[in-house]
Amino acid sequence: MPAPAPARMHRAVRSAPPHRAGRRGRAALAGLLTLTAAAAAAPSAGADGPPYVTRPDLRPTRVTVTTPATNVAPGYVFATPKGGGIDSGAEIFDNAGQLVWFRPAKKRGTSILDLKPQTYEGKPVATFWEGLAVRGYGFGAFHIVDQNMNEIGRVSPNGKGQMDFHEFTLTPQGTALGISYKPVRGSTTAVKGGARNDLIMRNLIQEIDPKTNEVLWEWDITKGVSPAESYLPIPARPEVAYDYIHANSVNLDADGNLLVSSRHTHTIYKVDKKTKKIIWRLGGKKSNFKMGPGARFAWQHDAHRQPDGTISLFDNASSIENDKGKRSKGLVLNVDEAANTATVAKQFVNPVPKVDNTQGNLQALPNGNWFVGWGGTGRNVSEFSADGTQIFEAKYASKRTESYRAYRSPWVAQPQVAPKAVARRSSSSVAVRVSWNGATTVAAWRVVGGASATTLVPRIVSARTGFETLIRVPDRAGESKVVAVEALDVAGNVLSRSKAIAVGAKY
């Protein structure tokens, strides 16, 4: 059944993020907090990890910041942690490692991968893939989420849910670039042990209309690249398709043609969009460029043309995790197409001397910094200054947790669903916990209480202290039998209000 076309973008968020608020707004909020300074908020129940009392359905990984943020680019971290006993999901967290948004996979056994900030129809969106991931291949669809955290699109070739997770790039033309795989029959006689009618993995590079899921353009890379270019041996088992290419990224070049990264040929291909012919090869066995010292890469991911003409990528360096003497890195190359040379412009090496043999990405940031997701065995994300100094690092709690890619980006979101709150009575106070999954505009919470839902009056204002905030409301007389919590922006405006809830003896 075809996926639904995106709906109209919902109304814009109603408040600027705190760092953009004016002096008057900050003063207004400071005044509200001063009035209730006697009742400080306790740390969040989720500060040491899930579960959250207000959202027991959310089980994201705990994130630890190991290099505090210094002169980093503005924004949050976007990742898709999976493994290590936590739910696979799309996760946004801040520079302190505090959760901002988590969206778990909806079906048991499925995964969410590649949460990415992008622009769609001129507005900020977040995109992620969800589906069945098996042996490094995906069968699912990409989802587009707006700033109200509502899904406005679901994209796969012809709406059949057969899109791979490796790439989804929204173009300025309003289309989407992606990859699909399918086992087919083909010749592998170009390599030792090959056969005329062998089982191979077809790699399709596709351009799709996100509104209709119509495939507008596609290129079968297996018809343009020979198995002789591959560094991957033919599988020993005949039922395993020989994926001698394994395309894992596709992005627009500056001239409108495409850059396609092929992991198993150690090559980045520039493809003519009109003729579907390969213009040149960067790296690999048939490179059109003389690769300078340190410029060669292997098993790479995430190739992009940068505005200054360089090409960036994540160099996995090896397909073996404990390959001694090799280290994965973010790599930026000067590519001279006139002289046919490629030299190292920048590189960003994981402070941990190891190989991240699967997954990974390198993102150029607007302020000149670079952000690295270290992939399958990295368990960490890093931000580097232009000179290669690590200025931020965060790690997932479990050594078995990984994220395909990770990004940093500014993001302003205000969900249309209301905040969630729970309340428990003690001898002299009411302990209220509140959270609002995905909201970035909340500066403080105001608890209102009374004998019933129709008699609620302001009780206390407390600063937001992470994803879930605990607020102790003085209540010796037991007046607050029912409470609700209002989300306030930095100017003290009410953004939303939780459902009125009865105060219980326990959570």
Nearest Cα to 466, choosing from 67, 125, 94? 94
Q: Is residue 16 part of a domain?
A: no
Residue of 477 and 198 predicted with greater confidence: 198
Q: Is residue 279 part of a domain?
A: yes
Residue 5 — very low, low, confident or very high, per pLDDT cuts 50/70/90? very low
Across 47-51, 210-214, 414-418, 469-473, least confident range? 47-51
Given a cut of 60, is residue 313 above it in pLDDT? yes
Quote the mean pLDDT of the chain: 90
Same domain, 257 and 326: yes
In this predicted structure, what is the pLDDT of residue 23? 52
Residues 397 and 422 in one domain: no
Q: What per-residue confidence (pLDDT) applies to 350?
A: 86
Q: Do 192 and 282 reside in the same domain of the chain?
A: yes
Q: Output the pTM of the full model.
A: 0.91
- Whether the link from the prior residue into 458 is cis, omega within 30° of 0, is no
Find the radius of gyration of the CA atoms of the chain. Answer: 25
Residue 281 lies in a domain: yes
- Average pLDDT of 482-497? 98
Q: Are 413 and 76 in contact (CB under 8 A)?
A: no
CATH code: domain of residue 452: 2.60.40.10
Tell whether 362 and 472 lie within a shared domain: no
pLDDT classification of 505: cutoffs 50, 70, 90 = confident
pLDDT reported for residue 39: 39
Q: Nearest 5°: phi and psi at 88?
A: -70, 135
The pLDDT assigned to 105 comes to 93
- Indicate whether 336 belongs to any domain: yes
Query: First and final CA of the chain: distance in angstroms?
Result: 42
Task: Tell me, yes or no, whether 432 lies in a domain.
Answer: yes
Residue 289: which of 343, 347, 346, 224 has the closest Cα?
A: 343
Nearest one of 305, 403, 287 to 345, comparing CA atoms: 305
Same-domain check for residues 334 and 462: no
400/432 same-domain check: no
Burial (CB < 10 A; 0-12, 13-18, 19+), residue 343, is: middle
Question: Residues 363-415: pLDDT tens digits?
Answer: 999 999 999 999 988 789 999 999 999 999 999 988 889 999 999 999 999 99
What does the pLDDT read at residue 138?
94
Query: For position 270, what pLDDT does the model report?
Result: 98
Last residue of a domain, one of 382, 409, 436: 409
Number of domains in the chain: 2
83 against 228, higher pLDDT: 228
What are the pLDDT digits (tens) for 29-75? 555 554 443 333 344 433 344 579 999 999 998 999 999 999 999 99
For the cut 80, the answer to whether the pLDDT of residue 433 exceeds it is yes
Average pLDDT over residues 431-451: 97
Domain of 126, in residue numbers: 63-409
Whether residue 329 sits in one domain with residue 191: yes
pLDDT over 70 (residue 17): no
Q: What is the pLDDT of residue 353?
A: 81
On whether residue 4 sits in a domain, the answer given is no
Helix (H) or strand (E) holding 394: strand 390-396
Say what percent of the chain tops pLDDT 90. 80
Q: What is the CATH number of the domain that holds 335?
A: 2.120.10.30
**Among 409, 431, 448, which residue terminates a domain?**
409
The C-alpha torsion from 92 through 146 and 467 to 398, rounded to 10°, is -30
Indicate if 363 and 467 belong to the same structural domain: no
Q: Is 295 helix (H, G, I), strand (E, B) or coil?
A: coil
3-state secondary structure 225-279: CCHHHCCCCCCCCCCCCECCCCEEEEEECCCCCEEEEEHHHCEEEEECCCCCCEE
Instruction: Give residue-wise pLDDT tens across range 269-284.
Output: 999 999 999 999 999 9
In a shared domain, residues 346 and 493: no
Answer yes or no: is 233 within a domain. yes
Say how far apart CA 141 and CA 124 lie, in whole Å.
20
Are 396 and 479 found together in one domain?
Answer: no
Are the C-beta atoms of 98 and 411 separated by less than 8 Å? no
Residue 220: pLDDT over 90: yes
Q: Which pLDDT band holds residue 322 (cuts at 50, 70, 90)?
A: confident
> Whats the size of the chain, residue-wise?
507
* 420 and 400 fall within a common domain: no
Q: Is residue 302 part of a domain?
A: yes
**Domain's final residue, options 391, 409, 427:** 409
Tokens of 266: 């150690």
Same domain, 331 and 437: no
